Chain A
């Protein structure tokens, strides 16, 4: 579903991604962990081309990412993205947030888009918030609305960049539950997170990144029980004691 080969990315002189190779199969859930600044967000943003790749190749469902314009917009429509900061459109109701892209990008009628949107809002458990503005919702509700908004495009892949890092602790669970359910429904997912519980529960593979490289890649149990590199061991020692 996702095939990344020899991906490199520079910000000026700063070499942020180094020779990344990553294949994600249909229906697979890959959790990406690693210290802050290791390039996890940049990798996510390269996957739907919010950042351009410096060199290397990214194929989504066998198709190379186009460079600009409408083709690129179409690719992004197939790749859902959930941000740490939710990024709900502040001037639109929750329902309109979910309906906008299906109408403008997929050409759905208002009635069709509204039906899909209400179904999805019910699925993430916030059906009764549909008419509210984003600012009136709790962080957990906003993030669930953002997930519904991404799902409304019927993406082939979902990318999550630290979806629970901006949430108060008591709201983390409600968002993770939605993601676990989504994984169980067979969605292909790449999830950057520090929630090790989620990785154990839902991931097929864990990717550990450090300093722009993929240092280690393994099944969750193998990774958490017996990491093979010192860097992964040190990182785990730090996050797991907190």
Chain B
């Protein structure tokens, strides 16, 4: 226990980095997911192809491989960025593919008559997606997106492998000093569990608030 308490500042710093990684990459993934989902349901075959290629590529590579590639590969081609920024971008692009798939299943769950009615009124494809189809699609995928958020939170720990000192890396460093893995990693694990529990609460509330009367 004292191993935890003696190193609270390090843990705290690690937790903050984890929260930063989580929040920033989830925001990025949400934007990316929206764009890719829009491509995947677009009436233009080329755009659909691009969306599909993106999802297939990113879902079929391990996140760790992508992180390592980005951290070591990008400087080779002259792109320099901080480790944490690189990790944030990579996680956002990766999780964006999963959010896109969740959104697409939501779009498919909205009856085709909704989009047709919107287009029959003169809304463009983009407008009908934005004002009619996506708001309804979102309501049906709050739970899956909440699960993606939790998975993303856990996945930020992979950034430790490329040198970002987030919660898992901080715990590892403390453990190297104290050699008390059980309390140290149980403590770190609890912090992740609290984040996941908060996400679960929020999604539950959103689902109830946004339920559509049918």
Contact = CB atoms under 8 A, between A and B. Distances in A.
Interface of A: 48, 50, 68-70, 73-74, 76-81, 83, 85, 87-91, 100-101, 104-105, 133, 135-136, 146, 149-150, 153
Interface in B120-137: 120-124, 127, 131-132, 135-136
Contacts of B43: 68
B213 to A, nearest CB: 4
B119 A76 contact: yes
10 closest Cβ contacts across the A-B interface?
A77-B122, A87-B117, A101-B121, A87-B113, A135-B213, A81-B120, A105-B122, A135-B214, A133-B213, A76-B122
B56 interface: no
B212 A76 contact: no
B6 interface: no
Interface of B: 43, 111, 113-114, 116-124, 127, 131-132, 135-136, 139, 212-214
Contact of B213 (A77, A87, A136): A136
A48 B120 contact: yes
B212 A73 contact: no
Q: Which of B117, B118, B122, B131 neighbours the largest number of chain A CB atoms within 10 Å of its CB?
A: B122
18 contacts: A74-B122, A77-B122, A78-B122, A80-B120, A83-B117, A89-B132, A90-B114, A90-B136, A90-B214, A100-B121, A101-B121, A105-B122, A105-B123, A133-B212, A146-B117, A150-B120, A150-B121, A153-B122
User: DSSP class of B's interface residues: helix, strand, loop or mixed?
Assistant: helix
Contacts of A78: 122
Contact of A69 (B123, B124, B127, B136): B124
Given A50-B116, A87-B117, A101 B122 contact: yes
Contacts of A83: 113, 116-117, 120
A91 B135 contact: yes
A74 B119 CA distance: 10
A48 B139 CA distance: 30
A89 B134 CA distance: 12
A93 B213 CA distance: 11
B115 to A, nearest CB: 9
B211 to A, nearest CB: 10
Q: Which of B118, B120, B139 neighbours the largest number of chain A CB atoms within 10 Å of its CB?
A: B120
Nearest to B44: A68
Given A81-B120, A135-B213, A136-B213, A87 B114 contact: yes
Contacts of B111: 85, 87
Contacts of A68: 43
Nearest to B121: A101
A149 B136 contact: no
Nearest to B120: A81
A136 B213 CA distance: 7
A105 B121 contact: yes
B123 A91 contact: no
B73 to A, nearest CB: 39
Contacts of A150: 120-121
A56 B72 CA distance: 59
B214 A73 contact: no
Contacts of A89: 114, 117-118, 132, 136
Nearest to A159: B120
B39 to A, nearest CB: 16
A76 B113 contact: no
Contact of B121 (A69, A77, A91, A136): A77
Contacts of A69: 124
B131 A100 contact: yes
B113 A85 contact: yes
B124 A87 contact: no
Contact of A153 (B121, B132, B136): B121
Given A50-B119, A135-B212, 15 more contacts: A48-B120, A70-B124, A73-B124, A76-B122, A81-B117, A81-B120, A85-B113, A87-B111, A87-B116, A87-B117, A88-B117, A89-B132, A90-B212, A90-B213, A101-B123
A104 B127 contact: yes
A101 B213 CA distance: 22
Q: Which of A50, A91, A135 neighbours the largest number of chain B CB atoms within 10 Å of its CB?
A: A91
